[in-house]
Structures are given as structure tokens and as C-alpha cells.
Amino acid sequence: MNMLTKIGRADEQTPETTPAPRPWRRVLLIGAPLALVVWGGYEIAHRGSPAMAAPPPPTVTIATPLARSIDRWDDYVGRFEASKTVEVRPRVSGQITGVRFKDGAIVHKGDLLFTIDTRPFAAALAEARARVASAKSELSLARANLDRALKLVDVDAVSQSDVDQLRARQQAAQAALAGAEASVRARALDLSFTQVRAPITGRISDRRVDAGNLVAGGEGSSATLLTTINALDPIYFSFDASEALFLKAKRAEQAGEAGSPVEVRLQDETDYRWQGRLDFTDNGLDPRSGTIRVRAVVDNPELFLTPGMFGNARLSNGGPVEALLVPDAAITTDQARKLVVVVGKDGTAQTKPVELGPVVKGLRVIRSGLGPDDRVVISDPELAQPGAKVLTKPGKIVPVAAADPRPPVADPTIGQATFAAN
């Protein structure tokens, strides 16, 4: 059979004679497209797509710590106390007829505060003066009788015993007159005590007794308390200090030096504007805490400082030293530890535990844990996770004058971290 015959026979085949496809071929034809779909999804899931790309590293501002020469200070917390406190009580009993001050005002020594009814004391003074007049009359009569008797002694008209009796009467009259005059002074003093005056200059409290009330006079706590006055210029600042400060103060006292200077700031201040000097240390240390009570005298010409106010004090602790300073915004907290974030040369962030010192010109002193060449993250340190890569831009740490009233800011355009008084 030639080739043409074969082709003709192939063309003559009918559907009934065409062999049916095998089942496994159908499975291959259907499964191939499904496999391609599954494999494509796997590739997309593992290789990622442009819509799910990883975010770029954060950008942080870095700067090396500011190196400055600063004075070393020891920090303490204490309270202000009045340099003098007087409880105003009446010296005589009676009815209050007037209150001559405003509650909480500044009073000066000698200012009239209260008045007490003067009528009983004026009457007692008049009676005492009457007794003085009577005593003077008795003395005058006794002197006259003695003079006459002395003239009659020479002619033996009067005995010596009569003369002695007359002389004794004169002396008794003199004593009675002295007693009456003393009574006048006492009654006059009582009359003056009906005007209760300020014994010192300072800020007065409120009145404890209103006009019309009876008050008891006398000495000590038995007398009625009318009000209190606190002397405020100068004012005391008391705090508990260590044994080292006590020894330092004693050495300075032995050397004849004045008290160590003390600078104090209030709770809402950043500058130590109040100046004073140590003037007293207690006579013993507390054996439980090893501390001793120390007192400084602080000038208060405007009477702004008030007893009971808290203050932060610092005492000089030697000469100037070199210190590293960073802004407070660069410091983070990990439980009890203080940390700063630094960036290595490879762009990896890491944390360093540090020991903090006081604030100087708005910047925090770092006592240990940081090097002068460390690149410190000075703004938003929470963006730099330890061990992660970050992008950096240069910044500069600048001290800020304490008089600047602006809040702490970090200018992102120049990367400065400046801090001022709150």
C-alpha cells in the first residue's frame, strides 16, 4: 500500500472508529493550569510585591555631647522657715475693742494690732496717783515733825527716843511714797498694754479674736492667742545633709572662713536665683540615717519666700570640672535605669546606661556612661530601636539662658536641641 492509499484511508475514518482519549490525559490537561496558578501565588507571597515593600529606616538627629567646664554642686531638698516667729498674746485681760490690721499683711515693729478697753486700767491708774499724793502728804508731815524735834533736842525739851521715832516715821513715809509711785508706773504700764503692738517686722497671720470678745492676759500659754507674726527677711532654709558636708562646714569654721554659699530654686523655677550661706548645723547626727540638720540664711528683701515652701538647694563641692551635657529629651528610662541612644558608625542604634547629674543652662550633666565622641540621638530617641539601622542628620546641642521663658524645643530644620525654663 502506497502513501496515497494510507492517507485516503485515514480521511475515511468515522467518529465511531476514532479512539477515545484516555482518562489520565484529561487530568493532565486540567491540572496544569491549576498548578501554574498555585505556583504564581506562592512566588508572589514569598517574593513580595511593590505595594508591601519594607518601610525605610527612621531618620533621627544626632550630635556629640556638649563638653563644658562646670562647677560641682551637691543637691538637697529642704523647706523654708521663718527666722523669727512670735505669738502675739495680750499682757492684760479685758474686752477687745478694735482690730487694727489686715489679715496676712506686712506689719512693722511697733504697729498697732489690737486695742483693749482702757477704762478699768485708767481708773486703776487714777487711784494709784491718788495714793502717791497721800504718801507725799504723809512724808511732808513726818519731815516737819522731825525738824521741830531736832530743834528742841538742844534744850532737852524732847527726848532722844522721841526723835528716833519721828525719824522712823519719816523713813516709812518715804517708803510709802516710793511704793505708791511704783504702783502708778505699774498701772500706767497696764494701760499701755491695752494697745497690742507688733513686736517684730514680718508677715502677720489672720486674727484669732474679733472685737467684742474678752481675752485673758498674763504670761505664757495661759494668755489668749491673738495672732502670729513671722519674720521673713532674712529667712531660713533647712535641710538634711550628709556627714561629709558637716565635716566640711566644721573645717571651714576652724579655718575662720565664712559659711559655704548656698543657692536655692523654687519648685517652678529652673534658675537658682536665691542666694544664702550656711550659718548653723545641729549638735548631732541622726544615727539611723547618718544625716544632720543644716540651716542656711537666705536674703528675702521682697518677702516673697514664705515659711513651709519647698526648695532645691545646691552647695558648691569643689572647683570647676569638665562635664558632658545632653538635652533631657535625649534621655529615656528603662525601669530604674536612665539610658541614652547612640548611633554607631555603621548606622546601628544602641542604648547606653548613664548616671545623671544636675541641670546646667537647660542641659543635663552626664556623670558617667557616655563618651565625648558618642553620637547621641537628641530628638525622638524612641524612633531608634536598639540593634536597628537608622538614618541620621547632624544636629547641635546648645545651652539656653535660664531667663528664656520658652518651653523646650528641638528644631528639626537645624537639628538643635535647646531647652529653657519651664
Same domain, yes or no, for 97 and 182?
A: yes
- What CATH number does the domain containing 201 carry? 1.10.287.470
Same domain, yes or no, for 282 and 177?
A: no
The CB density around residue 172, as the number of other CB atoms within 10 Å, is 13
Residue 161 to residue 176: CA distance in whole angstroms: 23
For 267-306, write each residue's pLDDT tens digit.
Answer: 888 788 899 988 888 888 888 888 889 899 999 988 899 9
pLDDT in the model for residue 282: 85
Residues in contact with 250: Cβ distance below 8 Å, sequence separation at least 6, in sequence order:
281
Q: What is the mean pLDDT of the chain?
A: 80
Same domain, yes or no, for 348 and 406?
A: yes
Residue 43 to residue 45: CA distance in whole angstroms: 6
To 10 degrees, the CA torsion angle through 383, 387, 392, 394? 100
Looking at per-residue pLDDT, the higher value among 254 and 89 belongs to 89
- The three cell numbers of residue 182 are 511704783
Lowest mean pLDDT of 116-120, 140-144, 153-157, name the range: 153-157
Same domain, yes or no, for 131 and 220?
A: yes
- Whether residue 10 is contained in a domain is answered as no
Looking at per-residue pLDDT, the higher value among 417 and 2 belongs to 2
Per-residue pLDDT averaged across 216-244, rounded? 90
pLDDT in the model for residue 411: 35
Alpha-carbon distances of 19 from 16, 27, 29, 350, rounded to whole Å: 8, 18, 18, 75
Number of domains in the chain: 3
Residues in contact with 393: Cβ distance below 8 Å, sequence separation at least 6, in sequence order:
59, 60, 61, 62, 415
Q: Is the predicted pLDDT of residue 407 greater than 90, yes or no? A: no
- The three cell numbers of residue 292 are 544632720
- Whether residue 404 is contained in a domain is answered as yes
Looking at per-residue pLDDT, the higher value among 52 and 315 belongs to 315
Q: How confident is the model at residue 44 (pLDDT cuts 50, 70, 90)?
A: very low
- Percent of the chain past pLDDT 70, that is, above it, reads 79
In degrees, rounded to 5, the angle at the alpha carbon of residue 208 between the alpha carbons of residues 204 and 211 is: 105
Asked if residues 230 and 202 have their Cβ atoms less than 8 Å apart, the reply is yes
Give Dmax over CA atoms of the chain in angstroms: 214
For 123-153, write each residue's pLDDT tens digit.
Answer: 999 999 999 999 999 999 988 988 888 878 7
- Whether residue 11 is contained in a domain is answered as no
Residue 64 to residue 326: CA distance in whole angstroms: 9
- Whether residue 63 is contained in a domain is answered as no
- What CATH number does the domain containing 250 carry? 2.40.30.170
Using the structure block, give the residue that is written with the C-alpha cell 484669732: 208
Q: Is the predicted pLDDT of residue 5 greater than 50, yes or no? A: no
- Whether residue 52 is contained in a domain is answered as no
Per-residue pLDDT averaged across 205-209, rounded? 94
Candidate ranges 37-41, 47-51, 132-136; pick with highest mean pLDDT:
132-136
Instruction: Burial-class residue 105 by CB neighbours within 10 Å (0-12, 13-18, 19+).
Output: exposed
Q: Is the predicted pLDDT of residue 394 greater than 80, yes or no? A: yes
Same domain, yes or no, for 174 and 216?
A: yes
Q: Is the predicted pLDDT of residue 405 greater than 50, yes or no? A: no
For 312-351, write each residue's pLDDT tens digit.
Answer: 988 876 667 788 899 988 888 888 889 999 998 888 989 9
Lowest mean pLDDT of 104-118, 145-159, 331-345, 357-371, name the range: 145-159
Same domain, yes or no, for 159 and 134?
A: yes
The answer to whether the bond into 358 is cis (omega within 30° of 0) is: no
Q: Is the predicted pLDDT of residue 410 greater than 70, yes or no? A: no
- Percent of the chain past pLDDT 90, that is, above it, reads 38
Query: Which domain does 121 fall in, by range?
Result: 88-226
- The three cell numbers of residue 387 are 540593634
- What CATH number does the domain containing 355 carry? 2.40.420.20
Same domain, yes or no, for 248 and 282?
A: yes
Same domain, yes or no, for 105 and 139?
A: yes
- Whether residue 336 is contained in a domain is answered as yes
pLDDT in the model for residue 89: 95
Same domain, yes or no, for 93 and 201?
A: yes
Smallest CA-to-CA distance from 331 within 417, 422, 402, 420 is with 417
DSSP string over 223-259: SPP-EEEEEEEEEEEEEEEEHHHHHHHHHHHHTTPPP
Residues in contact with 309: Cβ distance below 8 Å, sequence separation at least 6, in sequence order:
79, 80, 266
Same domain, yes or no, for 213 and 92?
A: yes
Q: Which of 317, 351, 386 is the last residue of a domain?
A: 317
pLDDT in the model for residue 12: 45
3-state secondary structure of 161: helix
Lowest mean pLDDT of 1-15, 136-150, 334-348, 376-390, name the range: 1-15
Instruction: Burial-class residue 284 by CB neighbours within 10 Å (0-12, 13-18, 19+).
Output: exposed
Same domain, yes or no, for 109 and 221?
A: yes
- Whether residue 335 is contained in a domain is answered as yes
Q: Is the predicted pLDDT of residue 250 greater than 60, yes or no? A: yes
Asked if residues 124 and 190 have their Cβ atoms less than 8 Å apart, the reply is yes
Residue 380 to residue 348: CA distance in whole angstroms: 16
Q: Which of 317, 341, 371 is the last residue of a domain?
A: 317
Same domain, yes or no, for 253 and 364?
A: no
Q: Is the predicted pLDDT of residue 213 greater than 80, yes or no? A: yes
Q: Is the predicted pLDDT of residue 17 greater than 70, yes or no? A: no
pLDDT in the model for residue 15: 44
Directed axis angle between helix 119-153 and helix 160-192, to 10°? 160
**Which residue(s) pair with 88 in the sheet?**
227
Taking phi over 0 as left and psi of -120 to 50 as alpha, with beta for the rest, 367 belongs to alpha
Lowest mean pLDDT of 37-46, 136-145, 184-193, 259-268, name the range: 37-46
Which residue stretches of 99-159 are H helix? 119-153
Alpha-carbon distances of 395 from 346, 364, 400, rounded to whole Å: 18, 17, 15
Q: Is the predicted pLDDT of residue 191 greater than 90, yes or no? A: yes
Per-residue pLDDT averaged across 362-388, rounded? 87
Residue 165 to residue 146: CA distance in whole angstroms: 9
Q: Which of 275, 296, 317 is the last residue of a domain?
A: 317
- Whether residue 285 is contained in a domain is answered as yes
